[in-house]
């Protein structure tokens, strides 16, 4: 979803800086997109500090801040490992919180902040208790941030995707057969009859960051093909 959003914003004329913690994948994405890249792990506070410093030194203030890094691991509650709990919370919530916190002095007045949440912040799925809790925390945080930053006309919104065609399930370690079956299952749960495309997330980010959305803040925008209607 980060890749799809970067492509949309680049095509609209923005100066885009992407981040990631896997150097090879980050460099490849930067080459393909023709954008700038900074190696950074959202789960590490020192990396966030370095990211803010490098962005502000090289590019100045920020008009659009899109925070979308996230990880998920599936485990029943009684089998959850503390180290996995900490990893997910550090990336999905703590990292989100401090990325925004540390960037606030470097956001232009009137800037747009968009944070990726998930429909699992408000729905449930067995095995994803920690992931769901981390996204629920993000959705709550967005509302407070929107109030605190409103005096500077900085808008803060969340996007809650449903099933999107990304590498997330591959990163969770599922094999090809499982992935194929999971894709078919997710399609069956989506009234539109397909899963979403990363560029569709990017188009929503672009809209929320445009002048046409200047009266929208503190909102959570579901983009799930209707799956939460079932």
Residues marked as catalytic: 131
Report the distance separating Cα 35 and Cα 29, nearest Å: 8
Q: How far apart are CA 36 and CA 17, in angstroms?
A: 5
Using DSSP's 3-state secondary structure scheme, residue 186 falls into helix
Q: Which residue has the tokens 């560029």?
A: 199
What is the C-alpha to C-alpha distance for residues 119 and 132, in angstroms, rounded to an integer? 9
Residue 18, beta-bridge partner list: 37
Distance of alpha carbon 160 from alpha carbon 121, whole angstroms: 8
- Residue 12 is given by DSSP the state T
């Amino acid at each position: 979803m980060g890749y799809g959003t970067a492509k949309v914003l680049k095509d609209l004329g923005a100066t885009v800086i992407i981040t990631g913690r896997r150097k090879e994948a980050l460099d490849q994405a930067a080459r393909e997109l023709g954008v700038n890249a900074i190696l950074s792990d959202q789960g590490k506070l020192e990396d966030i500090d370095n990211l803010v410093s490098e962005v502000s030194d090289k590019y100045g203030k920020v008009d659009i801040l899109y925070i979308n890094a996230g990880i998920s691991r599936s485990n029943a509650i009684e089998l959850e490992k503390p180290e996995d709990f900490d990893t997910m919370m550090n990336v999905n919530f703590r990292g989100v919180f401090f990325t925004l916190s540390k960037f606030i002095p470097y956001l232009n007045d009137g800037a747009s902040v968009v944070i990726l949440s998930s429909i699992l912040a408000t729905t449930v799925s067995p095995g994803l208790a920690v992931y769901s809790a981390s996204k629920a925390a993000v959705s709550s945080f967005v509302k407070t941030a929107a109030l605190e930053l409103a005096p500077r006309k900085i808008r803060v919104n969340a996007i809650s995707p449903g099933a999107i065609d990304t590498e997330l399930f591959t990163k969770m370690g599922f094999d090809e057969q499982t992935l194929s079956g999971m894709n078919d299952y997710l399609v069956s749960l989506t009234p539109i009859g397909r899963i979403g495309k990363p560029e569709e997330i990017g188009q929503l980010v672009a809209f929320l960051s445009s002048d046409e959305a200047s009266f929208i803040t503190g909102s959570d925008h579901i983009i799930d093909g209707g799956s939460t209607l079932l």
